[in-house]
Amino acid sequence: MCGIIGVSGTTDAARDVFVGLMNLQHRGQDGAGILTLAESGSELFNLQKGSGLIENVFSERSFKKGLKGKTALGHTRYATIGRQDPNLLQPFFDARSTIGIGHNGNIVNVYTLRDELAEAGLEFTPASESDSEVILKLLALELDGHEPSAPHMFKAIEASMHRLVGSYAVVGIDGTGGLFGFRDPDGIRPLVFGSRLNSEGLPVYALASESIALTYLGYTIENEIAPGEAIYIGADRKVSRQVLFQRSTSPCMFESVYFSRVESELETHSIYETRFQLGLVLAERIKELGIVADVVVPVPETSRSAAIAIAEALDLPFRESLIKNRYVNRTFILDGHAARQEAIRRKLSPIPSEIKGKRCLVIDDSIVRGTTAAQIIELMRQSGAKEVIMASTCPQIQFPCYYGIDFPSQDELVAYNCTDEEVAKKLGADRVVFQTIEGLRKALKKDTLCTGCLTGSYPTDITCGSDFQSQRLKDRTTLIRKS
């Protein structure tokens, strides 16, 4: 999972991109990069990227010196393959075809495509495992020497879509000053389109992974790029859009449940409202199961809105008995089990006076590996909880994700092939309650979703994904050994 943003039509596009990336920091903390079209000099593009948080990669000097121009592209990385390799930081650009891209998602047939492209004579970064670079080289090949323009880009993107298997939202810029973007044929990864007027009354356009990255900057959200749709904004500000190859509408359910910022909207639905609805629907299930509690406790931050809804529906007090250290980043997207465990210890502190002697209904957005849940339950026990009931607004995650969420193996999933009672025993809880898949669809107001990690039924072919998943597991094993 990564964050991408592109801006076209303002004199200081890189600054907009930087601020937008700050609002997408939750989508990736491994590193970041910004690419701009050079205003002068021998180089076509200016690129700066580095490991770490966005504010540590860029400085005021970045914008006064190199990162100038009316068109810019930014990316913040969350690694699911290749791990902490700085060579994999995006954006990537191809000087010959004069295009640069940032990508969110995962290409399942990356190794097959890479071999095919290498045989066709395309060169890749040495030892790189980047599927984003494969997308870039494929686009360059399909452009076939033509200068980027709406018709040529659409033709190249459509041809690429028919060869790519997996999830992708892509934003790019080109040597003519154009900004372009496209989404996979199933719409697994999100991409929103926005606009505003500059000081001269002329339109400025932007594309981003989430609406909050644009609304914070004063953009009005026009709509989402549709599954299989491409958009091209020329240097003359002409906007062209075309649905090239649409197969289904299967947005990743995890975007609404966990990854997106609560201030964002997906398909005009507020993420806050969606998570509140997830809480209301889960409260119905808790009532049906006859579960009794004294207090509702959210796991900060993403489960708060659902926990409020549950407390209201069950007429129970809502207590923030777990306090988050705001200087510790998301533990789910850290590399390795040991790193996550240490971060959880630093991240959460209980308030014993609000826990002691009480039957605590603890609400989390999801239970994946169980690392966080088990440590929270232990903290609650140490603080004197009479009972700990763990409730998840997401159903049991029992299958790997091939599309950009970092759980490549069933064996690391705490709910895999287990009953709720068995999961509760693993975690040390008195009881565990999961959302149902029907409840998930009801709360998200969508009949069609990517629920591959819940059901094992995926929107794309995954038969070519074994090498891809093996590499992700190999990367993780290497990191664990190093730690």
Residue 268 has which token pair? 């005009």
Comparing C-alpha atoms, which of 236, 174, 175, 228 is closest to residue 205? Answer: 236
Dihedral over Cα of 82, 88, 94, 98: its sign: positive
Scanning 23-130, the segments in alpha helix (DSSP H) are 54-57, 60-64, 110-119
Longest dimension (CA), the chain: 71
Partners of 220 in beta bridges: 195
Partners of 23 in beta bridges: none
Chain length of the chain: 483
CA-to-CA distance for 146 and 206, rounded, in angstroms?
A: 25
CA-to-CA distance for 252 and 458, rounded, in angstroms?
A: 11
Scanning 69-126, the segments in alpha helix (DSSP H) are 110-119
Whether residue 2 lies in the annotated active site = yes
Q: Which residues of 137-172 are buried (b: 16+ CB within 10 A; e: fewer)?
A: bbbbbbbeeeebbbebbbbbbbbbbebbbbbbbbbb
- Which residues lie below 8 Å from residue 342, measured CB to CB, with a gap of 6+? none
CA dihedral 477, 394, 457, 478 (to 10 degrees): -10
Q: Is the Cβ–Cβ distance between 267 and 295 less than 8 Å? A: no
Which of 2, 394, 450, 464 is catalytic? The answer is: 2
CA-to-CA distance for 364 and 278, rounded, in angstroms?
A: 11
Partners of 206 in beta bridges: 7, 194
CA-to-CA distance for 143 and 129, rounded, in angstroms?
A: 23
Q: Strand ranges (DSSP E) for 81-178?
A: 92-94, 99-107, 166-174
Cα radius of gyration (the chain): 23
CA dihedral 397, 402, 403, 409 (to 10 degrees): 50
CA-to-CA distance for 235 and 308, rounded, in angstroms?
A: 47
* Distance, C-alpha 436 to centroid of its chain: 23
Question: Beta strand 269-270 with 322-324: parallel, antiparallel or unpaired?
Answer: unpaired
Write a three-state SS string for 303-339. Answer: CHHHHHHHHHHHCCCECCCEEECCCCCCCCCCCCHHH
Place of tokens 């629920």: 451
List active site positions: 2
